[in-house]
Amino acid sequence: MKPYLLVDFGSTYTKMTAVDLDGPAVLGTAAAPTTVDDGLINGYSEALRQLTAKTGPLKFRKKLACSSAAGGLRMVAVGLVPELTVEAAKLAALGAGARVTGVYGYELTAEEVTEITGLEPDLILLAGGTDGGNRETLIHNARQLAGSRLEAPVIIAGNKNAAPEAEDLLRQAGKPCHRVPNVLPELGRLDIEPAQKAIREVFLERLVRAKGLDRVEREIDGITMPTPAAVLAAACCLAGGDGRTPGLGELLLVDV
């Protein structure tokens, strides 16, 4: 038998499933209320106690987890054309643990920066301009954010010809930032995967650990991804297969 423990630290419940990869078979499931305030460890321990009562003691080869215990990242998107920014931001947030709470286009005004500050975002997606296109808007908006009181990390995903300068402005102001390839390298073509990856990393670093998952990580083999990303990965595997077993083909998955 090759037992694995799979854990989902949800905002309401901590859910566990023990599986045998040799079977393959589900050995048992359990759930307990998530205990965010005490670092999640009590909810984890209670769920594990319930699971062990069903399965008996198991020596797990690995204990893997995903988490949405901190809730979704509040993300503000800033770009050149609002309609394009909305589409790119929503697709980038999909499955990455973020939700778009504000979208701003063109050059940011001082009033808009104040409004963004009031939204208290966990993350800012700074886009704007196709590669080789408009440079001024991205640089202006980076300068506005650099001079603000905002402390949220900024993911720069705009015109590659302006992104390095935008990054320099933010870093010189002490703002945490990550530069990734343009989400809209040319009109009609989106490239969102690098931005999605950066959003997932910020989710795990900033929100998950802020809620105490670093404490419970000592009991497991790591928080691999946000729960929405895990659901998306499972859907892709179910549709496309895993390289050894063919998938079901195109499907619609509803995550309630």
Tens digit of pLDDT for each residue in 84-104? Answer: 877 888 888 776 778 889 999
Please say if the pLDDT value at position 139 is more than 90: yes
Cα–Cα distance between 176 and 153 in angstroms, integer?
5
Answering whether pTM is above 0.75, one says: yes
Instruction: Pick 3-69+211-240's CATH classification: 3.30.420.40, 3.90.470.10, 3.40.50.1110, 3.90.1260.10.
Output: 3.30.420.40
Please say if the pLDDT value at position 207 is more than 80: no
Mean pLDDT check: name the lowest of 15-29, 158-172, 199-213: 199-213
pLDDT > 70: what percent of the chain?
A: 95
Alpha helix locations (H) across the chain? 41-55, 82-93, 110-119, 136-146, 163-172, 193-202, 209-210, 213-216, 227-240
User: Please, are residues 125 and 89 in contact by the beta-carbon 8 Å criterion?
Assistant: yes
Residues 98-108 as b or e (16 or more Cβ within 10 Å = b): bebbbbbbbbb
Q: What is the pLDDT of residue 26?
A: 97
Cα–Cα distance between 78 and 105 in angstroms, integer?
6
* Interval 214-232 mean pLDDT: 83
Cα–Cα distance between 98 and 92 in angstroms, integer?
9
* Interval 226-238 mean pLDDT: 88
List beta partners, residue 77: 103, 125
Q: How many CB atoms lie within 10 A of CB 255?
A: 10
pLDDT > 90: what percent of the chain?
A: 63
Please say if the pLDDT value at position 76 is more than 80: yes
Domain assignments of the chain as residue spans, ordered by start: 3-69+211-240, 73-196
Q: Going by C-beta distance under 8 Å and a sequence separation of 6 or more, which residues neighbour residue 152?
A: 76, 121, 122, 123, 124
Please say if the pLDDT value at position 175 is more than 70: yes
* Interval 134-148 mean pLDDT: 97
If you average pLDDT over every residue of the chain, what do you get?
A: 90
Q: Is the dihedral of CA 109, 111, 112, 116 positive or negative?
A: positive
CATH topology for 73-196 is: Rossmann fold (3.40.50)
Q: What is the pLDDT of residue 203?
A: 80
Cα–Cα distance between 39 and 204 in angstroms, integer?
15
Which of helix, strand or coil describes residue 142?
helix
Q: What is the pLDDT of residue 86?
A: 77
User: Please, are residues 167 and 179 in contact by the beta-carbon 8 Å criterion?
Assistant: yes
Vertex 118: Cα angle to 112 and 124 (nearest 5): 70
Confidence at 211, pLDDT banded by 50, 70, 90: low
